[in-house]
Structure 1
Amino acid sequence: MAKNISFLELARKILLETKRPMTVEEIWDYSINTGYYELVNTKGKTPWRTMGAQIYVSIRDKKDSYFIKIDSKPKKFFLKELSNTNCEINQIIKDEETEVEEPKNFSFNERELHPFITYYANTFMNVYTKTIFHEKSNKKTYAQWLHPDLVGVYFPIDDWDSEVLDFGMILGSQLIKIYSFEVKKELTFSNLRESFFQAVSNSSWANEGYLVAAKISQDDEFITELKRLSASFGIGIIKLDIEDPDASDVMFPAKFRSNLDWDTVNKISNQNPDFRALLRRVKNDLSNKEIIKAMYDKVFDSDRLVNMLKP
């Protein structure tokens, strides 16, 4: 096969082959599955974004561009040569407007992602996590959106002098930071609002709340909406990389809330024994100025994490 074709040529090749409108992420995924990605010489971390930018510029600046933009959600691209009349283009747009990007069927479940967020939180945020099992909550008063999948705790024990810790506790100062993590396998337009507002509900009591996913749609409109929701409600977004855990990243930071919602903390404690045990554990560790790491979620190394999800 020929080498070093452009992103635009790669996109055109794939659209000609599939004969259907596709997002730039779908085009790139197709190139990975077929091996066509080797035709372009790129070392970028987000090649689908580069491809998308070039397609947008081509449509905007070139009358003879190969591409047309389909005003669907998420935005998709198609080829003029496969839709020669306005009637055909309008029909494609109509068809695409009825489609919603559905979450894919993954071979792993959400709970299998917990070790990945535990690794990221501990390695890059100096936070210890504890999984809160929903099935242990009081069935009579259980509320689905009351507590998150994991709770994280930052301790100042390694950073502060013993005298400062004692003084802070005497004054009743809040010495720790509490994080909430709501985990999803994938975020697309089809599940964004439910997932986001679940994260809002589950984290309203904590200092910082995060919505975490292993796959996040890279559609431009989706990212814009995700950023807007994050800024409006203070929920951070973490993208997990299940192939390279060290490449996981905070896409949008959470807004820090200085005060905990103690009424909600008390409600969660009454409903869930895992959460109640965590509160007791944190109190003991802070009082003893020693973190008993074995009492929190186990932190696996990155190689072990990658192997966990292999078939």
Structure 2
Amino acid sequence: MAKYTFLDLAEEVLKASGVALAPSEIWKKAVESGLSEKLKTQGKTPWMTLAARLYVDTKDNPDTRFVRLGESPVLFGLKSAGYQLEKAEDISEKEDVFLGGTKSIKERDLHPFLAYFAFFYLDRVYVKTIYHEKSLKKSFSEWMHPDLVGVRFPEMGDGALELARATGSLPIRLFSFELKVGLNFSNLREAFFQAVSNSSWANYGYLVAAEISDDQEFRSELRRLSDAFGIGVIKLDLESPDDSGVVFQAREREVLDWHFINKLSHLNEGFARFLNDVKIDIDGKKIHKNEYDEVEEDVDQLKSKLGPKGKK
């Protein structure tokens, strides 16, 4: 007998309700009807897990039973109810977001700042930008792709390195980074579950932003999400890059999802090249820095990368 899943529960609730619902509403109705007991889940925040399953399924699964509707709040309905699928966003055409009232910043303007922070403050992590628009099947795999990926190489002597390679326990660490210009209540859930979806293959997953709301209720929710799913949060300081920092630490996944890594490498040639570059560096015992995003060591030069194009 097939295992009863969160998606099965959502389908039953939505069929019974006849209308699209938010994940929290689906879970509430499941508890009221007793369907939640069929899951036998031990998680502390099952409604969050339900939301994550629905976000991932509607983004990555062409045969999904569900459709995502609206933005605030985000609702989920059944395809069979006749809802229309939303058009996937063209990530290469994101609008500017005004930061601090003086600069218009795009997410990719943040990449050099993350490259700087990852190298100097995440213990020499080399990052590489992944271009979503060059992927296959973009409409259903958008949330599989992080904005940047990263690798931390082991600092080991030749003997230890060869032994680690022979035993299949080479201690490299892979990172996934999802970038947003700003994080607040209006985009928190979508941004967070996007980070959950596109980091499931890596040792560490991070959600990164240049502005993070200081609202106490927002920070409490952000902490709950981080604790529940193990996603870390980084705040980039564009005025003083050395003051950037990790707001919440990512929880390490010790076992990599090689099936997902293989799937992503077939969907995106940039990610496939990243894997090949990592292998070449390990085999050659030398890091070819030009294969990764440039790390600007001069802070003033780094800040200048925002440039006059950022002015209103």
TM value normalised by structure 2: 0.64
Residue 130 of structure 1 and its aligned partner are, at CA, apart by 0.5
Q: Deviations over 1:206-263 (max 9, x none)?
A: 0000000000000010111101100110000000000000000000000000011111
Q: 1:236-275 residue pairs with structure 2 within 5 A? A: 236-275=232-271
Identity within the alignment, %: 54
1:151 corresponds to which residue?
149
What secondary structure sits across from 2:98 in the alignment? coil
1:294 aligns with 2:294: no
CA contact 1:142–1:271 (8 Å) conserved in 2: no
Structure 1 consecutive aligned stretches of length 4 or more whose deviation exceeds 2 Å: 103-106, 139-142
Residue 307 of structure 1 and its aligned partner are, at CA, apart by 1.3
Amino acid in structure 1 at the alignment position of 2:264: I
Q: 1:165 to 1:216 in 2, by over 3 A?
A: same
Q: Deviations over 1:85-142 (max 9, x none)?
A: xxxxxxxxxxxxxxxxxx9534010011011000000111110000010011013675
Aligned partner (choices 116, 120, 124) of residue 119 of structure 1: 116
Q: Deviations over 1:147-168 (max 9, x none)?
A: 2000000001xx2111100111
CA contact 2:97–2:106 (8 Å) conserved in 1: no
CA contact 1:120–1:245 (8 Å) conserved in 2: yes
CA contact 2:203–2:255 (8 Å) conserved in 1: yes
2:134 corresponds to which residue?
136
Residue 309 of structure 1 and its aligned partner are, at CA, apart by 1.7
Give the Cα–Cα distance (whole angstroms) in 2 for the partners of residues 145 and 291 of structure 1.
Answer: 29
Q: Which has the larger radius of gyration?
A: 1
Q: 1:82-231 residue pairs with structure 2 within 5 A? A: 105-106=98-99, 107-125=104-122, 126-139=124-137, 143-156=141-154, 159-231=155-227
Give the Cα–Cα distance (whole angstroms) in 2 for the partners of residues 174 and 162 of structure 1.
Answer: 12
What secondary structure sits across from 1:223 in the alignment? helix
Give the Cα–Cα distance (whole angstroms) in 2 for the partners of residues 227 and 310 of structure 1.
Answer: 33
CA contact 1:199–1:235 (8 Å) conserved in 2: yes
Give the Cα–Cα distance (whole angstroms) in 2 for the partners of residues 185 and 266 of structure 1.
Answer: 29
What secondary structure sits across from 2:177 in the alignment? strand
Q: 1:140 to 1:193 in 2, by over 3 A?
A: closer
Give the Cα–Cα distance (whole angstroms) in 2 for the partners of residues 284 and 233 of structure 1.
Answer: 32
Q: 1:304 to 1:201 in 2, by over 3 A?
A: same
CA contact 1:115–1:298 (8 Å) conserved in 2: yes
Give the Cα–Cα distance (whole angstroms) in 2 for the partners of residues 251 and 261 of structure 1.
Answer: 26
CA contact 2:223–2:248 (8 Å) conserved in 1: yes
CA contact 2:161–2:170 (8 Å) conserved in 1: no
CA contact 2:97–2:105 (8 Å) conserved in 1: no
Give the Cα–Cα distance (whole angstroms) in 1 for the partners of residues 300 and 164 of structure 2.
Answer: 39
TM value normalised by structure 1: 0.65
2:17 corresponds to which residue?
none
Q: 1:260 to 1:190 in 2, by over 3 A?
A: same
CA contact 2:202–2:256 (8 Å) conserved in 1: yes
